[in-house]
A and B are shown apart, each in its own frame.
Chain A
Amino acid sequence: MYKLVMSVYKEVLLLRRDPGALIILFVMPLVLVIAITLIQDSTFKTATESKIPILLVDNDKGEVFKMVLKNLGESSSFSVITKDKGKPITEQFAKDKVFNGEYQMAIVIPAQLSSGLKAKVNGNVQKIMEGFNAVADTVATASAPAQKTAPKEVRLYFDPASQTAFKNAVKSTIDKMISQIETKSIYDAFKEQLGEESTAAFEQENYISFKEIVPMFENKAMVPNSTQHNVPAWTLFAMFFIVVPLSINIVKEKNQGTQVRLRTNPVHYYTVIGGKTITYLIICMLQFYLMLAVGIYLFPHIGLPPLGLNGTFLLMSVVALFSGFAAVGFGILLGTLAKTQEQAAPFGSTSVVILAATGGVWVPVFAMPKVMQYIAKASPMNWGLDAFYDVLLRNNTLTGILPQLASLFLFFIGMVALSLFYDEKKRAV
């Protein structure tokens, strides 16, 4: 035990004397979690709160344009520009401005859209009315066959640099708006056919609506926010980055000859590895608590939603501890396999990025291709992230996260066993 304590003390001293490692371990993760949460939070706001300027080209000169203008004007997402230097915008002008990146998007309302839509809707309504034989007189006078109207298309131009997620969100909004305009036109046509006195018969409010049901904690709804998604994910990412200083630490011991000395000392290699494991686990936990503190106390001061733990502090700590085990195990294996720092550092950081990507830190696993979903299940970062979300967002218990904890610990055992096996094999040169 004394040798283990001294090994931990030595590791702590080595870390204290390595400012680069301390920056990697504590400062970089903080910068990362703050930056990513700010970016994701502001992206969310861009799509929902702040207004995106868009160009609206009116080739229609009719009702549809007015309705589009009104709807977009009322929208909290867009501010509409229809004129340039007092003149109506042309499609060519809009196209040029959007494609060179001055504007995010432009909407072009085609010519005769209003009249075409009206003709089509009227024709369809008349057919229905004829079917019901409801207004014989009207039919007698106005039953000319409905004109075949060619479909019209509203053209959208996007800045080529726009991301797919943004385009999809905007397209969905425009699509919804067009559907509403068409629906309104149909109701208006019916009203016209039936006469003004029947107006009250049409209730145009949506009948079907939706409501999100979220988990409850102490009778309070646990509504997830960007902080609750980002803090666990990026904390995990940061914790796994200990792979870099830990593997470099082991490689240095090999290159300095201190490992050779230790092998001739009456101390088990387990004790040496144990000293590193305990030290770096403590680092992992410190990182975790630092990130939590930032989420809880700093985020509200910089305009981000605060991290609400809702009584999950202890369970979150357990998940962090087991995730730390997995990260330390990976670092030990990498340090054992690598011969130089030049091998350990880039491989360590790249592999952590790959583990994060496959583990669902950036893109949720369900949104990945099928093959990647299978690969994600083999990523320790996915187990850790899943356990964090289970505790923080899904209100799960210790029993519920046991599979993830067991996987993380077995990963640690596997990594260390492989390291010891490789080390033993190498000594039989």
Chain B
Amino acid sequence: MSNPIIQIQSLSKQYKGAEFFSVNTLSLDVVKGEIFGLLGPNGAGKTTLISMLCGLVKPTLGSFTIQGLNYHDNAHAIKKIIGVVPQEYALYPTLTARENLMYFGSMYGLKGAILKQKINDSLEYLGLTKFADKRIETYSGGMKRRVNLIAGLLHNPLVLFLDEPTVGVDVHSKNVIIEYLKQVNAKGTTIIYTSHHLAEAQDLCTRLAIIDSGVVLIQGTPQQVIEQTQNAYSLEDVFLSLTGKELRDV
């Protein structure tokens, strides 16, 4: 595969006291400039995998590199080039959107007019300018999701990790978010994205992998994985065919 920006080799994670591995000798490459979807049922290991790649959880076994850097020796350098949009809002509710973004932007060393301009542009694009100086606690779920997204993108990261960025948002907010992500990707940011919205993933992702029980079941472009699966006409057919129809409550 040409020009991988993320290389994962036999990565495993077993939480203390857990009977099974959440991620089990998983290997995967993500190519620079693509939008890579990580799909799977609840408890498949998607969030654990992203948490390891972001440095939030230490792997039990295996290794990975981002832009050729391994996390063990280059944690600070990796943090500079990645952006993370966690599933939870991860914002200070009593601060305004602008104050939150000023703070998180400054943690990347951004300051002054550049930071202010970047914040204004992002707020403008995502339709939040007139709410910029209102406290986050007064925002709707969709508005919080948009600010959450901006906070992970202020420093123009090379790689953006998104953990279910559109969960619980209205259709309008979802469309704006998806369009914004496409624009960010077009400017060169590689996106790793988890979601339960299969149609959204099919539309957004250039490539994807379906994982379950910590292992990759299938990977390729959306079209490829549909073609590789018998009697599958959509990503949902592939998903159910590979992961089964039983409920996954974790």
What residues of chain A have their CB less than 8 Å away from a CB belonging to chain B? 2-3, 6-7, 9-10, 13-14, 17-18, 256-258, 260-267, 427-429
Do residues A257 and B92 form an inter-chain contact, with CB atoms below 8 A?
no
> How far apart are the CA atoms of A10 and B107 in the complex, in Å?
11
Do residues A266 and B80 form an inter-chain contact, with CB atoms below 8 A?
yes
A262 CB contact (under 8 Å) in B57, B58, B107, B109:
B107
Do residues A261 and B106 form an inter-chain contact, with CB atoms below 8 A?
no
User: A-B pairs with the 6 shortest C-beta distances?
Assistant: A257-B88, A257-B90, A17-B94, A6-B106, A266-B79, A264-B84
Q: Could you say which residues of chain B place their CB within 8 Å of the CB of A260?
A: 56, 86, 88, 90
Q: Write the B24-44 contact mask toward A (1 if CB under 8 angstroms, else 0).
A: 000000000000000000000
B70-85 interface with A by 8 A CB criterion: 76, 79-80, 82, 84
Do residues A265 and B107 form an inter-chain contact, with CB atoms below 8 A?
yes
Give the secondary structure class of B's interface: loop
**Nearest neighbor of A15 in chain B, beta-carbon distance:** B94
Q: Could you say which residues of chain B place their CB within 8 Å of the CB of A17?
A: 94-95, 135
Do residues A3 and B57 form an inter-chain contact, with CB atoms below 8 A?
no
Do residues A3 and B106 form an inter-chain contact, with CB atoms below 8 A?
yes
B86-116 interface with A by 8 A CB criterion: 86, 88-95, 99, 102-104, 106-109, 111
* B245, CB-defined interface residue at 8 Å: no
* B15, CB-defined interface residue at 8 Å: yes
> How far apart are the CA atoms of A261 and B108 in the complex, in Å?
12
> How far apart are the CA atoms of A3 and B56 in the complex, in Å?
21
Do residues A14 and B95 form an inter-chain contact, with CB atoms below 8 A?
yes
**Minimal beta-carbon separation of A45 from chain B (angstroms):** 46
**Nearest neighbor of A253 in chain B, beta-carbon distance:** B92
**Nearest neighbor of B48 in chain A, beta-carbon distance:** A429
State whether A265 and B79 are in contact (beta carbons under 8 Å apart), knowing that A2-B106, A3-B106 are contacts in the complex: yes
Do residues B91 and A264 form an inter-chain contact, with CB atoms below 8 A?
no
Do residues A266 and B109 form an inter-chain contact, with CB atoms below 8 A?
yes
Q: Could you say which residues of chain B place their CB within 8 Å of the CB of A18?
A: 94
**Minimal beta-carbon separation of A171 from chain B (angstroms):** 57
Q: Could you say which residues of chain B place their CB within 8 Å of the CB of A265?
A: 79, 104, 107-108
Q: Could you say which residues of chain A place their CB within 8 Å of the CB of B93?
A: 256
B82 CB contact (under 8 Å) in A10, A257, A264:
A264
* B16, CB-defined interface residue at 8 Å: yes
Interface centre among B16, B58, B90, B107 (most CB of A within 10 A): B107
Q: Could you say which residues of chain B place their CB within 8 Å of the CB of A264?
A: 54-56, 79, 82, 84
> How far apart are the CA atoms of A9 and B107 in the complex, in Å?
12
Do residues A428 and B107 form an inter-chain contact, with CB atoms below 8 A?
no
* B158, CB-defined interface residue at 8 Å: no
Q: Could you say which residues of chain A place their CB within 8 Å of the CB of B94?
A: 13-14, 17-18
Do residues B86 and A257 form an inter-chain contact, with CB atoms below 8 A?
yes
Do residues A266 and B76 form an inter-chain contact, with CB atoms below 8 A?
yes
> How far apart are the CA atoms of A429 and B52 in the complex, in Å?
11
Q: Could you say which residues of chain A place their CB within 8 Å of the CB of B103?
A: 6-7, 9-10
Do residues A261 and B104 form an inter-chain contact, with CB atoms below 8 A?
yes
Do residues B90 and A266 form an inter-chain contact, with CB atoms below 8 A?
no
> How far apart are the CA atoms of A258 and B152 in the complex, in Å?
12
**Nearest neighbor of B135 in chain A, beta-carbon distance:** A17
Q: Could you say which residues of chain A place their CB within 8 Å of the CB of B108?
A: 265-266
